[in-house]
Amino acid sequence: MARLCAIVIGLTYLTQATLSAAETKSKDVPPVLQFKAKSLEGKDVDLSQYKGKVLLIVNVASRCGYTPQYKGLEQLHEKFGKEGLVVMGFPCNQFLRQEPGDPQQIREFCTEKYNVKFDLFEKIDVKGPHQTPIYKWLTSREATPTDPGDVKWNFEKFLVGKDGKVVARYRSGVKPESPQVVEAIEAELKK
Protein backbone atom coordinates (compact mmCIF):
# COMPACT_ATOMS: atom_id res chain seq x y z
CA MET A 1 0.00 0.00 0.00
CA ALA A 2 2.82 2.41 0.89
CA ARG A 3 4.46 1.66 -2.44
CA LEU A 4 1.19 2.41 -4.30
CA CYS A 5 0.89 5.73 -2.47
CA ALA A 6 4.47 6.62 -3.40
CA ILE A 7 3.72 5.87 -7.05
CA VAL A 8 0.54 7.99 -7.01
CA ILE A 9 2.40 10.87 -5.32
CA GLY A 10 5.21 10.56 -7.86
CA LEU A 11 2.78 10.59 -10.79
CA THR A 12 0.94 13.57 -9.33
CA TYR A 13 4.23 15.47 -8.98
CA LEU A 14 5.27 14.53 -12.52
CA THR A 15 1.90 15.67 -13.93
CA GLN A 16 2.11 18.98 -12.07
CA ALA A 17 5.68 19.53 -13.26
CA THR A 18 4.65 18.80 -16.85
CA LEU A 19 1.70 21.19 -16.62
CA SER A 20 3.93 23.86 -15.08
CA ALA A 21 6.44 23.46 -17.90
CA ALA A 22 3.64 23.78 -20.48
CA GLU A 23 2.26 26.87 -18.74
CA THR A 24 5.73 28.41 -18.59
CA LYS A 25 6.27 27.70 -22.28
CA SER A 26 2.97 29.31 -23.22
CA LYS A 27 3.89 32.40 -21.20
CA ASP A 28 7.36 32.59 -22.73
CA VAL A 29 6.31 31.84 -26.30
CA PRO A 30 4.17 34.35 -28.22
CA PRO A 31 0.74 33.08 -29.38
CA VAL A 32 1.78 32.88 -33.04
CA LEU A 33 4.48 30.36 -32.11
CA GLN A 34 2.40 28.14 -29.84
CA PHE A 35 1.30 25.99 -32.77
CA LYS A 36 2.65 22.89 -34.42
CA ALA A 37 2.83 22.45 -38.17
CA LYS A 38 4.18 19.91 -40.59
CA SER A 39 6.97 20.60 -43.03
CA LEU A 40 6.27 20.02 -46.70
CA GLU A 41 7.94 16.63 -46.22
CA GLY A 42 5.54 15.75 -43.39
CA LYS A 43 7.88 16.25 -40.42
CA ASP A 44 6.47 17.78 -37.23
CA VAL A 45 7.61 21.35 -36.64
CA ASP A 46 7.18 23.10 -33.30
CA LEU A 47 6.84 26.74 -34.30
CA SER A 48 8.30 27.82 -30.96
CA GLN A 49 11.71 27.13 -32.56
CA TYR A 50 11.27 30.47 -34.34
CA LYS A 51 11.07 32.44 -31.08
CA GLY A 52 13.01 35.71 -31.33
CA LYS A 53 13.00 35.71 -35.13
CA VAL A 54 11.23 38.05 -37.55
CA LEU A 55 8.73 36.03 -39.58
CA LEU A 56 7.19 36.59 -42.98
CA ILE A 57 4.29 34.13 -43.21
CA VAL A 58 2.83 33.68 -46.69
CA ASN A 59 0.19 31.43 -48.26
CA VAL A 60 1.68 30.30 -51.56
CA ALA A 61 0.51 28.58 -54.76
CA SER A 62 2.20 27.31 -57.93
CA ARG A 63 -0.41 28.28 -60.52
CA CYS A 64 -1.33 31.81 -59.55
CA GLY A 65 -0.69 35.13 -61.23
CA TYR A 66 1.28 36.03 -58.10
CA THR A 67 3.43 32.87 -58.22
CA PRO A 68 6.48 34.88 -59.44
CA GLN A 69 6.54 36.34 -55.92
CA TYR A 70 8.40 33.16 -54.94
CA LYS A 71 11.46 34.87 -56.44
CA GLY A 72 11.09 37.92 -54.19
CA LEU A 73 10.43 35.76 -51.13
CA GLU A 74 13.60 33.77 -51.82
CA GLN A 75 15.56 37.01 -52.28
CA LEU A 76 14.38 38.19 -48.85
CA HIS A 77 15.36 34.83 -47.36
CA GLU A 78 18.84 35.06 -48.89
CA LYS A 79 19.35 38.71 -47.95
CA PHE A 80 17.99 38.69 -44.38
CA GLY A 81 18.01 35.04 -43.29
CA LYS A 82 21.34 35.30 -41.48
CA GLU A 83 20.09 38.41 -39.68
CA GLY A 84 17.07 36.59 -38.27
CA LEU A 85 14.31 36.67 -40.90
CA VAL A 86 12.39 33.44 -41.46
CA VAL A 87 10.21 33.21 -44.55
CA MET A 88 7.47 30.62 -44.02
CA GLY A 89 5.52 29.41 -47.05
CA PHE A 90 2.21 27.61 -46.55
CA PRO A 91 0.85 26.14 -49.81
CA CYS A 92 -2.89 26.57 -50.13
CA ASN A 93 -5.33 25.23 -52.74
CA GLN A 94 -8.38 27.26 -51.67
CA PHE A 95 -8.24 29.95 -54.32
CA LEU A 96 -9.34 28.56 -57.71
CA ARG A 97 -7.38 25.35 -56.96
CA GLN A 98 -4.11 27.06 -57.84
CA GLU A 99 -2.02 24.68 -55.71
CA PRO A 100 -3.15 21.21 -56.82
CA GLY A 101 0.21 19.50 -56.39
CA ASP A 102 1.25 16.95 -53.83
CA PRO A 103 4.23 17.74 -51.55
CA GLN A 104 6.80 16.30 -53.97
CA GLN A 105 5.37 18.25 -56.92
CA ILE A 106 5.31 21.46 -54.87
CA ARG A 107 8.93 20.96 -53.75
CA GLU A 108 10.10 20.19 -57.29
CA PHE A 109 8.29 23.22 -58.72
CA CYS A 110 9.65 25.58 -56.06
CA THR A 111 13.19 24.25 -56.36
CA GLU A 112 13.40 24.01 -60.14
CA LYS A 113 11.56 27.23 -61.02
CA TYR A 114 12.55 29.55 -58.14
CA ASN A 115 15.39 27.81 -56.26
CA VAL A 116 13.37 28.15 -53.03
CA LYS A 117 15.33 27.39 -49.88
CA PHE A 118 13.04 29.06 -47.33
CA ASP A 119 10.81 26.94 -45.09
CA LEU A 120 7.83 25.35 -46.80
CA PHE A 121 5.06 23.63 -44.90
CA GLU A 122 2.30 21.19 -45.75
CA LYS A 123 -0.67 22.36 -47.78
CA ILE A 124 -3.26 23.98 -45.50
CA ASP A 125 -6.56 25.86 -45.42
CA VAL A 126 -6.11 29.54 -44.56
CA LYS A 127 -9.84 30.20 -44.16
CA GLY A 128 -13.10 28.37 -43.66
CA PRO A 129 -14.13 25.47 -41.43
CA HIS A 130 -10.77 23.67 -41.75
CA GLN A 131 -8.63 26.78 -41.26
CA THR A 132 -5.32 25.86 -39.70
CA PRO A 133 -4.78 27.24 -36.17
CA ILE A 134 -1.90 29.57 -37.09
CA TYR A 135 -4.06 31.28 -39.72
CA LYS A 136 -7.03 31.38 -37.37
CA TRP A 137 -4.78 33.35 -35.02
CA LEU A 138 -3.14 35.53 -37.71
CA THR A 139 -6.49 36.66 -39.09
CA SER A 140 -8.03 37.32 -35.68
CA ARG A 141 -8.77 40.78 -34.31
CA GLU A 142 -6.39 39.99 -31.42
CA ALA A 143 -3.45 39.38 -33.75
CA THR A 144 -4.21 41.92 -36.47
CA PRO A 145 -6.47 44.56 -34.93
CA THR A 146 -6.16 47.02 -37.82
CA ASP A 147 -6.77 44.46 -40.58
CA PRO A 148 -8.46 41.29 -39.29
CA GLY A 149 -10.45 38.87 -41.41
CA ASP A 150 -10.07 36.13 -43.94
CA VAL A 151 -7.18 35.80 -46.33
CA LYS A 152 -8.55 36.95 -49.68
CA TRP A 153 -6.09 35.34 -52.10
CA ASN A 154 -2.73 33.61 -52.54
CA PHE A 155 0.46 35.36 -51.46
CA GLU A 156 -0.95 37.41 -48.59
CA LYS A 157 1.90 38.20 -46.26
CA PHE A 158 1.98 38.62 -42.46
CA LEU A 159 5.08 40.24 -41.00
CA VAL A 160 5.62 39.18 -37.39
CA GLY A 161 8.17 40.93 -35.18
CA LYS A 162 10.64 39.29 -32.80
CA ASP A 163 8.12 39.81 -30.01
CA GLY A 164 5.59 37.64 -31.85
CA LYS A 165 3.21 40.48 -32.74
CA VAL A 166 1.89 41.04 -36.24
CA VAL A 167 3.58 44.21 -37.48
CA ALA A 168 1.96 44.38 -40.91
CA ARG A 169 -0.31 42.52 -43.26
CA TYR A 170 0.33 42.84 -46.97
CA ARG A 171 -2.28 41.76 -49.50
CA SER A 172 -1.37 39.73 -52.57
CA GLY A 173 -0.56 42.67 -54.84
CA VAL A 174 2.26 43.88 -52.60
CA LYS A 175 5.49 42.33 -53.86
CA PRO A 176 7.86 40.88 -51.23
CA GLU A 177 10.74 43.01 -52.53
CA SER A 178 8.71 46.24 -52.43
CA PRO A 179 10.25 49.09 -50.40
CA GLN A 180 7.46 49.04 -47.81
CA VAL A 181 8.04 45.34 -47.04
CA VAL A 182 11.85 45.55 -47.08
CA GLU A 183 11.89 48.66 -44.85
CA ALA A 184 9.50 47.03 -42.37
CA ILE A 185 11.67 43.88 -42.23
CA GLU A 186 14.83 45.94 -41.72
CA ALA A 187 13.17 47.92 -38.92
CA GLU A 188 12.07 44.74 -37.14
CA LEU A 189 15.48 43.12 -37.47
CA LYS A 190 17.09 46.15 -35.79
CA LYS A 191 14.87 45.84 -32.69
Q: What is the pLDDT of residues 106-137, one digit of tens each?
A: 999 999 999 999 999 999 999 999 999 999 99
Report yes or no: 46 and 134 within 8 Å, Cβ to Cβ.
no
Q: Could you tell me the residue ranges of all domains in the chain?
A: 29-190
Helix (H, G, I), strand (E, B) or coil at 110: helix
pLDDT of residue 18: 34
pLDDT of residue 142: 94
Buried b (16+ CB within 10 A) or exposed e, 96-115: eebbebebeebbebbeeebe
Using CB atoms within 10 A of its CB, is residue 123 exposed (0-12), middle (13-18) or buried (19+)?
buried
The overall average pLDDT reported for the chain is 89
Closest among 176, 178, 158 to 73, alpha carbons compared = 176
| DSSP symbol at 28 | H
Half-sphere exposure of 180 (CA within 13 A, CB side): 11
User: Residue 83: which region, alpha, beta or left (left: phi > 0; alpha: psi -120 to 50)?
Assistant: alpha
pLDDT of residue 26: 60
Q: Is the pLDDT of residue 37 over 60?
A: yes
Which residues does 149 contact at the CB level (< 8 Å), separation at least 6? 139
Report the distance separating Cα 127 and Cα 98, nearest Å: 15
Beta bridge partners of 107: none
pLDDT of residue 68: 98
Q: What is the CATH number of domain 29-190?
A: 3.40.30.10
Residues taking part in catalysis: 64
pLDDT of residue 4: 43
Q: Is the pLDDT of residue 32 over 50?
A: yes
Entry pTM: 0.85
Angle between helices 103-114 and 69-80 in degrees, nearest 10: 80
Helix (H, G, I), strand (E, B) or coil at 160: strand
